Structure 1
Amino acid sequence: MDNQCTVGACGRPTQDVICAGHTAELVAALKSVPDLHADLEITLARRHKVSGSTEGRRGVTTPVMFHEAASETLRALERVVWHWAHTFHSANKHLSSPPKTVQAACEWMARFPALIASLDGAGDMWEDLARETRNARRVIDLPASLSYRGECGAPLDIGVCLQALYAPSDAVTVWCRTCGAEWDAAERRDLLAGQVADACMNATRASQVLAAVGIAIASATIRTYGRPRMVGGVQLPPKLVAVGRDQRGHPTYRVGDVLDIFLANQAPSINCAA
């Protein structure tokens, strides 16, 4: 005798706990989590606030920026994934233990759609993942063509303007659509880059964080900085020195050091010929 799908009011007949259609949707949601998780971290990086003054505007303070929605959404997504990863493993002891990262845990569960479909509580799992991935997409709302340039910070009659500023990566000037203040886009970008300079992270994360403020450095380029070099047949030490290792054993680097090397490589060559 067939069961009925336990997702909401679906009620379609199934031999499992949820129907084939909702199983496919749940697997797709799991597969989407790694990218959503990374995008939420980028959203947090570009809106993480630190106090500081904006050069050229005496008395103007850049408000400390913390994107509460992104933080809460990221934590909720992680809680849901870990809850269901452990529930899934408890019901399937023949499988190896869940991987140690959110991204890998989702990819691991998505490999077993038949086991997901027959999992007690699969309907709740579908509801949880659908809700959290939907919430993540709502928070991640910045077009890829734009970079975050901080909150405006221009003085108002009362307080300062807190409007978030966005600009294309090649913009010269950025205007505030709320108060009309005009800012040098490069200075705003450099201000944000300075705020993450002391952060230490692996090459992929460093590339993502810098991209979020309009500085494009490929993760492969950062890894190249961290490798020994051959110059004239002589092996030289890496330009970029690792400061540690992340949980997966990948080398981590200070973001400011990455940026210093990148900018030095961009400097025009000087012709010293007499």
Structure 2
Amino acid sequence: MSSNNTTGTPCHLCGRPSGDDAYACTTCAETLRDALREITGEDLPHGLADDLDTALAKQGTKPERDGARTKASEVPLPIDVRASEAAGVLRNTLATWVRVVHEDQPKPLPVDALPAMAGWLLPLCGWLRGRDYGPECIDEITHAVQQARRAVDIPAVSVYVGPCECGAAVYARTGSPLGTCRECGAQWGVAEQREWMRNAAEDTLMTAAEIARATSRPSALVSPGTVRSWASRGRLEAHGHNERKHPLYRLGDALNLLAPEGQIAS
């Protein structure tokens, strides 16, 4: 006989009744459990961590001609930048939350490896429901897993440049300096449009996780923990909270803490 909980405090993630006084419902906790199992590969032929390693190590070569490689084919292609960025974000996210949880659960820390950190957090999914930071932990880890899953499943062929004057979205091929509107054919400089979007979005309020996703680049990964560290040190001021009670920070203030090249300022 099954029963549906219709009582308790609302889940800070999905809004459904938690069934008790927890900050997150059992369904959202199970989502985190599934995400961590995906990293470790539990009950799967191989885990997401293995898929990321495969994508990072994958180097293509041109077809051999008459059994001999051409000179160009001897040069390996660069590693998958998208997978590299996703792996870095996932590692930083797990490491951040392992440190946070360890303050309340002082058991031996795992080694700095994706499966080990995910396995360390896995038995604590139910316990996390009752912590005030539980919903944020669930949200950040599951989002990082989704980003990693996309990186190994879908090749990056284009990037969003910004809105065209005609209202359509403009995309550019990865690495191209220009993006072309598919509606009117107008061309836009990628660097110029991104700078315009940056200036337009500076007053946008975001959570630590959203700022990390917006400012991270393959050459400079910014973790949610870094953003929270800025706030705890008084370098970043919170401007209210969202509906999930997560602090909101001004994107422009966070960008000011980054060097022009995207590196974290000292």
Q: TM-score, normalised by structure 1?
A: 0.44
**Bigger radius of gyration:** 1
Q: TM-score, normalised by structure 2?
A: 0.45
